[in-house]
């Protein structure tokens, strides 16, 4: 082998080594990264963990059934609590849609997502306050914006104190209950090297040298009907030792973690205290709220035979309509100048009535009523034909009332003065000679009505109604056909009655009534059919159904 060939051999060897080394580096850099292992950085955030991460919350307007008397101050108190709370950042609600009750949102994810559109928050609270005969009920629910489902809930039922101060304390307790039902106690706010800041402080029972577990929510199980969290599956992947505490913050160091850098911002801190259970000193068979689902108002339809979807009803707020059927004892009397006293009675006159109300405001109400009846009487005058007389009664009424309500809701005791217009006409077949004429009364009247519940649960109630149209200011007009009984007529109208009802639901009630009505007139006798007075009396027993909307 010659000299030049020998000199080229080391050069070739160096070139081959450089090529292999460069190729190895290039392949190592360009090869796709392997799937992260269970201990790799960033793998301790599952979909369920991300879903349950709440940094910012908002509060929808509170609702109540007493014109905001409770809702406004309790809402301001609640927002102040959230605003001062160190676990979340408070964001004012920007939703301009209809105000919905917690039950409506709990039963419809679509409504929840629609109501939270444009809301710059991860979660939001909806609270309804109801004052009833048994106390105050506060329904507090927290929803997630991401999936529109219920996250946590607390309910205070039939609280016996009614002052705002006591209710504010209860709202504070309910908020604490909502927070404690979340699957984690706090979050890591920041990390620098091994130093971390946690959004829990001395107010939460954190103290120096305390060890905190850092957890990952692997899976969240919700109730298939009501969507609240039943349980969560979590794993511990790190520990933090607290070195210093503030009232709402703690500062510590990472003691251990499954992989370097695994504990990051928004990593969740597990329960600070052990789980404890009430009534630990005595045996109790009282079911927990989750175990007592079958006892809820909707339990039978949700869990019983032929279970079906259930959605709570809103309380009525616009008015009511209804109809009644009844029978009357109708008596007619006419004192004539020619044949003397004429009187006849129908003991079983059927009638039907339609009722309606429009609640213009919480106090002002517009009433309307239409009544029709068929009456058959004997002709009381011997020799007058025909022997049987048919009559038809028509009554219209329209009135405006102002309600004084002695309670927080629609079914509370109330008194309502009112005034309005009425029209009454009793058509009578013609007879020869004339015995009874067709008479019409119309004009203005005034009265007062009211009702009150008589059972503790408010299911049963009674009421009354009284009106008249013979005051110096309200004198009804009187007309007769085919011929008047005199030159002038003075009319008197008196109506009163009692009624009872039974609530069949939030919007339906059965009602029965006993009413007395008298329409009378006095005349200055003259003309071909003179009379001194005439009167119609109706005693009516009726019953029907009222629907409120």
Note the pLDDT of residue 4: 45
Give whole-number Cα distances, 448 to 51, 406, 451, 453, 467, in Å.
58, 16, 11, 18, 6
pLDDT category, 184, cuts 50, 70, 90?
confident
**pTM greater than the 0.75 cutoff:** no
Instruction: Tell me the two tokens of residue 24.
Output: 């190895």
User: Distance between CA atoms of 537 and 328, rounded to whole angstroms?
Assistant: 10
Note the pLDDT of residue 454: 93
Note the pLDDT of residue 273: 54
Q: Coil, strand, or helix at residue 485?
A: coil
pLDDT of residue 290 exceeding 60: no
What's the pLDDT tens digit per position in 189-229?
999 988 999 988 888 888 899 999 998 888 877 776 666 77
**Is there a contact between 505 and 549 (Cβ–Cβ < 8 Å)?**
no
Note the pLDDT of residue 371: 97
- The mean pLDDT of 267-286, rounded to a whole number, is 56
Least confident of 164-173, 206-215, 223-232, 248-257: 223-232
Q: Cα 133 vs. chain centroid, distance in angstroms?
A: 16
User: Distance between CA atoms of 296 and 47, rounded to whole angstroms?
Assistant: 32
Helix-helix angle 164-180:71-84, to 10 degrees:
40
pLDDT of residue 385 exceeding 60: yes
Instruction: Tell me the two tokens of residue 483.
Output: 């011929």
- The mean pLDDT of 425-437, rounded to a whole number, is 91
- The mean pLDDT of 428-440, rounded to a whole number, is 90
Note the pLDDT of residue 277: 42
Bridge-partner residues for 422, per DSSP?
A: 397, 443
Q: Cα 544 vs. chain centroid, distance in angstroms?
A: 26
User: Distance between CA atoms of 372 and 349, rounded to whole angstroms?
Assistant: 10
């Amino acid at each position: 082998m010659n000299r030049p060939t020998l000199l080229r051999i080391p050069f070739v060897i160096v070139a081959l080594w450089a090529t292999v080394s460069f190729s190895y580096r290039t392949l190592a850099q360009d090869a796709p990264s392997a799937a992260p292992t269970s201990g790799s950085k960033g793998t301790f955030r599952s979909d369920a963990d991300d879903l349950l991460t709440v940094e910012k919350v908002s509060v929808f307007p509170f609702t109540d059934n007493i014109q905001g008397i409770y809702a406004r101050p309790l809402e301001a108190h609640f927002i102040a609590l959230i605003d001062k709370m160190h676990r979340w950042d408070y964001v004012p609600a920007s939703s301009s849609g209809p105000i919905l009750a917690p039950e409506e949102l709990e039963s419809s994810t679509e409504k929840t997502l629609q109501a939270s559109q444009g809301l710059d928050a991860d979660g939001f609270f909806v609270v309804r306050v109801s004052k009833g005969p048994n106390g105050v009920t506060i329904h507090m629910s927290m929803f997630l914006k991401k999936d529109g489902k219920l996250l946590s809930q607390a309910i205070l039922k039939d609280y016996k104190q009614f002052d705002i101060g006591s209710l504010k304390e209860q709202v504070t307790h309910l908020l604490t209950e909502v927070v404690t039902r979340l699957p984690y106690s706090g979050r890591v706010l920041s990390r620098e090297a091994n130093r971390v800041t946690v959004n829990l402080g001395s107010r939460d029972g954190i103290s120096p040298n305390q060890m905190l577990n850092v957890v990952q929510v692997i899976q969240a199980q919700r109730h298939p009907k009501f969507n609240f969290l039943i349980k969560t599956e979590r794993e511990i992947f790190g520990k933090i030792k607290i070195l210093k505490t503030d009232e709402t913050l703690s500062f510590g160091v990472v003691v251990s973690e499954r992989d370097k850098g695994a504990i990051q911002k928004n990593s969740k801190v597990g329960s600070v205290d052990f789980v404890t259970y009430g009534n630990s000193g005595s045996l109790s068979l009282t079911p927990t709220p989750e175990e007592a689902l079958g006892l809820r108002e909707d339990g039978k339809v949700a869990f019983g035979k032929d279970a079906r979807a259930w959605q709570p009803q809103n309380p009525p707020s616009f008015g009511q309509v209804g109809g009644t059927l009844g029978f009357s004892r109708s008596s007619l009397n006419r004192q004539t100048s020619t044949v003397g006293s004429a009187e006849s009675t129908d003991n079983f006159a059927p009638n039907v009535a339609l009722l309606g109300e429009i609640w213009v405001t919480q106090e002002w109400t517009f009433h309307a009523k239409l009544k029709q009846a068929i009456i058959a009487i004997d002709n009381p005058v011997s020799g007058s034909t025909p022997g049987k007389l048919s009559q038809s009664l028509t009554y219209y009424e329209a009135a405006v009332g102002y309600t004084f309500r002695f309670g927080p809701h629609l079914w509370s005791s109330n008194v309502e003065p009112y005034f309005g217009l009425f029209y009454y006409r009793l058509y009578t077949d013609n007879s020869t000679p004339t015995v009874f004429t067709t008479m019409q009364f119309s004009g203005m009247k005034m009265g007062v009505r009211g009702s009150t519940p008589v059972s503790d649960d408010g299911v049963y109630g009674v009421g009354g109604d009284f009106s008249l149209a013979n005051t110096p200011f309200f004198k009804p007009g009187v007309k007769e056909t085919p011929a008047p009984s005199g030159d002038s007529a003075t009319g008197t109208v008196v109506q009163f009655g009692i009624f009872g009802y039974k609530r069949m639901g939030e919007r339906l009630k059965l009602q029965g009534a006993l009413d007395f009505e008298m329409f009378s007139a006095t005349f200055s006798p003259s003309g071909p059919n003179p009379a001194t007075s005439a009167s119609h009396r109706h005693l009516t027993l009726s019953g029907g159904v009222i629907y409120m909307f």
